[in-house]
């Protein structure tokens, strides 16, 4: 698609720029030592992506929410931006963003983005489902533990090279709210006084043990 071509052109241009700078440094001093050559190669030609941002992508549960078109993402912070990354490539037989799905991706950068400000999302047009209901994105910095939410809650469509810009909302690390639901059979016996549940997140970290008042939950559900 056009977005894939544009992305390839951007990366080719960046690589050509780095090569030009590399050769200019080599020609500036023909007697450059091997240690200096090694430094220049690592600085200009080798991408060292040490910072990892784990991204959760949540698709809506409404009918026709899923898409089989390509999806791109770029994160922008006070310290810089990631490259525009292809999250979903239908040409590679990747899984689609199915209705009600939660998919996780790792974006690696060579520099810390610091405080995240926005996420930019592009949609392609190569698939048959050209509309996508994006509920939200959640981004977790694997090094610092900082977590950001990017609410969307609307249908996205192909807009050429114009992205949909989502604003960041930093989530507190002290506490999070989870909605836990149970299905109780009428033929079962009396509910227990409490239930012990362990919650695991896909963004990493240890599980959290939670004790629920089961009887109150059943009464609330019946009401």
Q: How far apart are CA 210 and CA 31, in angstroms?
A: 66
Lowest-confidence region among 158-172, 176-190, 203-217: 203-217
Listed residues 156, 171, 186: the one ending a domain: 171
Does pLDDT of 32 surpass 90?
no
221 membership: H or E segment, kind and range? helix 214-222
The residue with greater pLDDT, 213 or 50, is 50
Q: How confident is the model at residue 166 (pLDDT cuts 50, 70, 90)?
A: very high
**Averaged pLDDT score across all residues of the chain:** 74
Is 171's pLDDT higher than 80? yes
Examine the domain organization and report whether 139 and 184 are in the same domain. no
Tell me: do 103 and 190 sit in the same domain. no
Domain check: are 109 and 10 in the same one?
Answer: no
Q: Are residues 20 and 80 in the same domain?
A: no
The pLDDT of 71-81, averaged and rounded, is: 93
| Domain that residue 65 falls in | 47-171
Label residue 188 by pLDDT band (50, 70, 90).
low
Mean pLDDT value of segment 14-28 = 62
User: Percent of the chain, pLDDT > 70?
Assistant: 55
Beta bridge partners, 103, equal 57
Average pLDDT over residues 105-117: 89
Task: Give the pLDDT score at 176.
Answer: 53
Given a contact cutoff of 8 angstroms between Cβ atoms, the answer to whether 103 and 121 are in contact is: no
User: 209 and 109: one domain?
Assistant: no
Pick from 171, 188, 204: which residue ends a domain? 171
My answer on whether 24 and 63 are in the same domain is no
Same domain, 219 and 120: no
DSSP secondary structure of 64-133:
T--B-S-EEEEEEETTEE---EEEE-GGGTPPPB-TT-EEEEEEEESS---SEEEEEEEE---SS--EEE
Judge if 152 and 55 occupy the same domain.
yes
pLDDT confidence bin for 187, thresholds 50/70/90: low
pTM: 0.60
- Residue 87's domain is classified under what CATH number? 2.60.60.20
Residues 54 and 121 in one domain: yes
- As a whole number, mean pLDDT of residues 86-99 equals 74
- Single out the residue in 171, 190, 215 at which a domain terminates: 171
Domain count within the chain: 3
pLDDT at site 51: 85
Q: pLDDT at residue 222 above 60?
A: no
Regarding whether 129 and 100 lie in a shared domain, the answer is yes
- Same domain (yes/no): 69, 166: yes
**In a shared domain, residues 139 and 62:** yes
């Amino acid at each position: 698609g056009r977005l894939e071509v544009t992305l390839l052109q951007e990366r080719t241009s960046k690589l050509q720029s780095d090569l030009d700078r590399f050769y200019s440094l080599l020609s500036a001093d023909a007697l450059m030592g091997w240690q200096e050559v090694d430094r220049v190669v690592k600085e200009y030609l080798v991408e060292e992506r040490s910072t990892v941002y784990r991204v959760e992508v949540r698709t809506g549960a409404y009918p026709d929410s899923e898409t089989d078109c390509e999806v791109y993402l770029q994160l922008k912070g006070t310290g810089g931006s990631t490259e525009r990354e292809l999250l979903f490539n239908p040409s590679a037989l990747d899984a689609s963003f199915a209705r009600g799905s939660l998919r996780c991706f790792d974006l690696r950068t060579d520099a810390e983005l610091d405080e995240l400000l926005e996420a930019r999302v592009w949609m392609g047009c190569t698939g048959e489902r050209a509309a996508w209901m994006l509920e939200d994105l959640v981004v977790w910095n694997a090094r610092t533990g900082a977590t950001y939410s990017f609410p969307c809650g609307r249908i996205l469509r192909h807009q050429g090279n114009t992205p949909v810009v989502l604003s960041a909302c930093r989530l507190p690390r002290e506490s999070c709210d989870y909605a836990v639901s149970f299905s109780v059979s009428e033929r079962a016996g009396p509910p227990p006084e409490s239930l012990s549940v362990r919650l695991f997140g896909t963004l990493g970290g240890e599980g959290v043990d939670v004790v629920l008042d089961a009887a109150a939950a059943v009464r609330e559900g019946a009401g």
